């Protein structure tokens, strides 16, 4: 097809100015979405019967491939050891998919949850040789999940959620680098994965920024926290910038960054308002089967649900529940 010259110059102008004459009406309206597709690390993974206990919903880096039957028959596990929080995580609360104890098929949920996050995941270097990096999570999705999934969850009905960076910033906190530049690079890499998903037709992206990781129990006890508040702030600024850049570059997407940092900081500043009583430490018996009733036995003065931190680096399931409620309100606002 011949493209008239005036259209070409119009396109050139559009490219130069970054404006688009084609305004799409497609926006992410959470209430109309039929499912959520997630990527990330331990804060985000859920366990699947075809996954790796303590790590994933499906497969691992040494077994990236799966067939349609395996994907569609997979079930979300919910019990004390099925997340990194000792109970449902933010995605399960947000979608109300997999919150009940036992097994849930994502297909049976009003808002389906398809979660390709992998615990201990970061961009580099990998914690274990079976860890699926974000880059490979999206490649795995593209290669094995996209085609079977889109038969009953269309890209336009999906919200993509990505929460990552927690291991990256922790592992790199003492590098001898210029941090703002380094974080910019990390978040650019993140958006390479977002772009992969964009080429598949997904237009709605929810990103979550970093929690106040300078306030983990270990960091609170230290005069030199790693990462410190400045580093967390730099990373979050880089994430917002990349998100805005991606939004500007693609006129037909909606990218939003949920400010978990602000919400979680507010919980730390005023715990009673959120039913929290312990923000400084974690309960030593957090992973014991009888922790819900016998917390005193483990030297914990109050129940696990009143703690902000579940262990040295994770939030309790209760905090995930509060955050999911705030996120839902924000998605609808
Ligand atoms: C998963 O984590 C729990 C609690 O830390 C541990 O008891 C269990 O052995 C782990 N399972 C695997 C397969 O590593
Ligand atoms: C949780 O469910 C998984 C899968 O059914 C099982 O392997 C694991 O032992 C269960 N954990 C607990 C604490 O019941
Ligand atoms: C992965 O690492 C483990 C131990 O760290 C090692 O035993 C195993 O051979 C490695 N597997 C591959 C495929 O590299
Ligand atoms: C992605 O997976 C490929 C093949 O398994 C592996 O060679 C590569 O190192 C992985 N990349 C990352 C960033 O993990
Ligand atoms: C930026 O990240 C890429 C891969 O993620 C890496 O290869 C490159 O060395 C990084 N550059 C800097 C300046 O850190
Ligand atoms: C945090 O760490 C960075 C990198 O080492 C440093 O430049 C910055 O001054 C530190 N901020 C504070 C408040 O200590
Ligand atoms: C917070 O938790 C730690 C560890 O369980 C405990 O030693 C401490 O007394 C708790 N603080 C409060 C205010 O309950
Ligand atoms: C952060 O990294 C340090 C090592 O640099 C490690 O000891 C610590 O367990 C990590 N924290 C989390 C929450 O992963």
Q: What average pLDDT score do residues 261-287 get? A: 98
**Closest protein CA for atom 1 of ligand 1:** 54
**Closest protein CA for atom 12 of ligand 7:** 278
| pLDDT at residue 40 greater than cutoff 70 | yes
**Sheet of strand 102-104: strand arrangement:** 47-48, 76-78, 102-104
Rounded CA separation 116/48 (Å) = 10
- pTM, 2 dp: 0.89
Q: What average pLDDT score do residues 84-96 get? A: 97
Q: Is 62 in the pocket of ligand 3 (CB under 6 A)?
A: yes
| pLDDT at residue 129 greater than cutoff 80 | no
Chain-wide mean pLDDT for the chain? 89
Instruction: Out of 11-15, 33-37, 43-47, 113-117, pick the least confident.
Output: 11-15
User: How far, in Å, is the centroid of ligand 4 from the Cα of 96?
Assistant: 33
| The pLDDT value given to residue 67 | 95
User: How far, in Å, is the centroid of ligand 7 from the Cα of 301?
Assistant: 6
| The pLDDT value given to residue 123 | 53
User: How far, in Å, is the centroid of ligand 7 from the Cα of 217?
Assistant: 11
Task: Give the residue among 269, 182, 162, 174 at the shortest CA–CA distance from 227.
Answer: 174
Q: Is 126 in the pocket of ligand 4 (CB under 6 A)?
A: yes
Task: Give the residue among 85, 76, 43, 77 at the shortest CA–CA distance from 305.
Answer: 85
Q: What average pLDDT score do residues 139-149 get? A: 96
Q: Is 70 in the pocket of ligand 6 (CB under 6 A)?
A: no
Integer angstrom CA distances of residue 294 from 14, 62, 92, 285: 64, 39, 26, 9
Domain-by-domain residue ranges, the chain?
A: 30-270
Rounded CA separation 68/107 (Å) = 13
Q: What average pLDDT score do residues 87-107 get? A: 98
User: How far, in Å, is the centroid of ligand 8 from the Cα of 171?
Assistant: 7
User: What class does CATH assign to 30-270?
Assistant: alpha beta
């Amino acid at each position: 097809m011949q493209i008239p010259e005036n259209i070409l110059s119009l396109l050139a102008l559009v490219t130069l100015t970054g404006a688009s004459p084609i305004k799409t009406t497609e926006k992410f309206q959470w209430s109309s979405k039929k499912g959520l597709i997630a990527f990330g690390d331990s804060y985000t993974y859920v366990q699947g019967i075809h996954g790796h206990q303590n790590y994933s919903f499906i497969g691992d880096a040494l077994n990236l491939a799966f067939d349609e039957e395996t994907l569609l028959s997979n079930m979300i596990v919910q019990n004390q050891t099925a997340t990194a929080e000792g109970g449902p995580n933010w995605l399960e609360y947000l979608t109300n998919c997999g919150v009940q104890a036992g097994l849930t098929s994502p297909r049976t949920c009003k808002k389906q949850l398809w979660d390709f996050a992998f615990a201990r995941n970061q961009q580099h270097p990998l914690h274990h040789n079976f860890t699926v990096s974000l880059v490979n999570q999206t490649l795995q999705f593209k290669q094995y999940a996209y085609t079977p999934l889109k038969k009953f969850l269309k890209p336009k009905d999906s919200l993509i959620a990505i929460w990552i960076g927690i291991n990256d910033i922790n592992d790199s906190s003492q590098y001898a680098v210029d941090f703002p530049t380094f974080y910019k690079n990390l978040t650019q890499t993140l958006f390479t994965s977002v772009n992969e998903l964009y080429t598949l037709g997904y237009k709605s992206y929810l990103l979550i920024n970093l929690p106040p990781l300078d306030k983990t129990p270990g960091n609170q006890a230290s005069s030199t926290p790693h990462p410190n508040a400045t580093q967390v702030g730099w990373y979050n600024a880089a994430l917002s910038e990349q998100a805005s850049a991606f939004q500007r570059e693609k006129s037909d997407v909606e990218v939003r960054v949920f400010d978990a940092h602000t919400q979680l900081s507010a919980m730390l500043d005023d715990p009673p308002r959120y039913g929290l009583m312990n923000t400084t430490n974690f309960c030593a018996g957090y992973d014991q089967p009888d922790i819900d009733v016998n917390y005193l036995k483990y030297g914990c003065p109050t129940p696990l649900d009143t703690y902000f931190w579940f262990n040295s680096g994770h939030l309790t399931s209760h905090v995930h529940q509060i955050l999911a409620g705030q996120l839902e309100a924000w998605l609808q606002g």
